Amino acid sequence: MKIGFIGLGLMGRPMALNLLKGGHELSVWARRAESMQPLLAAGASSAASPADLAGRVDLLVTMVADAPDVREVMFGEKGVSKGAQDGLVAVDMSTILPAAARQIGAELQSLGVDFLDAPVSGGDAGAIAGSLSIMVGGGDAAFAKAKPAFACMGKVIVHVGGSGAGQVAKAANQILTGVGVLAVAEALNFAAKSGVDPARVREALLGGAAASKILENHGQRMLDRNFKPGFKSWMHQKDMNIVMQSAYQLGLCQPASAAAAQMFNAMVGSGLGEEDSVAMLKLLERLSNVVGELPLSR
């Protein structure tokens, strides 16, 4: 398949590389020419604009920051909609408001372009390994056309429902991960402040009902003081804001989500926005007057 890719950042670059490894013919576009270089070196071709890219591919993937960026790529002066050929399927794999995804999909549909919202979970490690979880909203025919490309980038691929359903699933994912990261950081900080080895506490908890992937993976990164970004805190702040905006629109009570959203606001406000979301532990340490690293007995 001829595939175009826009958004060659921390997640997008390895995702695009996996499409090349899967045997697809890849073309890319980026605002900064240097962002395209690793893909060009691996065998991709470059396009002059999103419109130029849309005119030469069967499937076009975007992986950008937020809804305004998606709209600019799709409908800007040299956007996808200006050059789309018949039968194009546009797939946005960014994380944006479900309502925004539905609106963008409807506008593209009126111009003859099929649209899928297909946000992902799994972080940069999943993007590199091609093991992402991909949550898809949109029509059956468009999903069937895009599925071979999804298979190059992810292991769990679920067609959740109609337009916007993928973004609803991703928002639910971010509720669980955002609240989960906060809960794990609270538990380990509680253990440390109580004078008990948090590593042993985590080991004990992994054997019971509190066990989770977040406790296993994110908890270990907290113990290791590994705050190198796989998913930056400002990105989780943005995603929790999507949850709270959607909850407002729906008239929903989301108390745990609201607490996590405020904590991510505090992380960004206190200078931790560029660190991984597991740096939530650092914020709690500051608030709790825990000085230095978590005390470990081994």
Residues taking part in catalysis: 170
Structure tokens at 136: 């898809």
Tokens read off for 205: 């908890």
129 CB contacts (<8 Å, ≥6 apart)? none
Burial class (CB in 10 A: 0-12, 13-18, 19+), 113: buried
- Cβ neighbourhood burial of 115 (10 Å; 0-12, 13-18, 19+): buried
Q: CA nearest 96: which of 69, 130, 74?
A: 69
State in Å, rounded, how far the first CA of the chain is from the last one: 52
